[in-house]
Structure 1
């Protein structure tokens, strides 16, 4: 028997703002809020489905350096260039983590500077 990833937890300064950003990026909805200020977002069907939820947990600690773990996303209904424009319009910024410029993916950052990659392959 194996484990399955059910949720990712990301420490952040402003869980509500980051929840809005990632809901826009992933097509997620807010699933719940905790008394400590945490916000859980995920697919419409909620926790336990095929896609993990994302818990945005408040933290006063600043982000330092490149994340050791990052999220990769793929477009589902458009090509990579069109999705890149959508993500930039949603508030993503381009990020330089030492890439050569020859990669097939784009390195971006969310509104708090957390890196993520937009991959080339379109998923159904």
Structure 2
């Protein structure tokens, strides 16, 4: 038997504010009721999935692992604009028409990608 994912941990200066921010980003996750200033999480479809742990040190290098998002009800570019409005910042814009992706950072500097939607890739307009 193989292992199963229990959660993904992300270091944070302020776990509660990270959960509040990511809760606005992800529609299939919700903030856990037992969050504390030391450890805060978002529960996904299969249980706790994103867990933010308080650490004293600042982020100093690029993430070795990151989250990739695929918008559900808007285009990739519309989702990038929405996230920029939530205080994300662009690290690397690799969009080329309907192909490619954008690398962004959350308010604490953790990188994540916004991919094209399946409709974008197929050339189908979203309703």
TM-score under structure 2 normalisation?
0.79
Distance in 1 of aligned mates of 2:77 and 2:94: 18
- CA positional deviation for 1:100: 6.2
Distance in 1 of aligned mates of 2:105 and 2:63: 11
**More relative contact order, 1 or 2 (CA 8 Å, 6+ apart):** 1
Aligned to 1:11: 11
Counterpart secondary structure, 2:4: coil
Distance in 1 of aligned mates of 2:95 and 2:114: 14
For structure 2, the residue ranges without an aligned partner over 5 or more in a row are 120-127
- CA positional deviation for 1:15: 0.5
Equivalent position to 2:106, from 103, 110, 114: 110
- CA positional deviation for 1:5: 2.1
Distance in 1 of aligned mates of 2:50 and 2:2: 21
Distance in 2 of aligned mates of 1:100 and 1:91: 19
Distance in 1 of aligned mates of 2:95 and 2:79: 18
**Number of equivalenced pairs:** 115
CA deviation profile, 1:51-106 (whole Å, cap 9, x unmatched):
x610100001111111111111110111111111111111211014xx76657000
For structure 1, the residue ranges without an aligned partner over 5 or more in a row are none
Larger radius of gyration: 2
Q: 1:122 to 1:5 in 2, by over 3 A?
A: farther
Counterpart secondary structure, 1:42: strand
CA RMSD of aligned residues (A): 2.2
Counterpart secondary structure, 1:91: coil
Aligned to 1:92: 88
Is the 8 Å Cα contact of residues 103 and 113 (structure 2) preserved in structure 1? yes
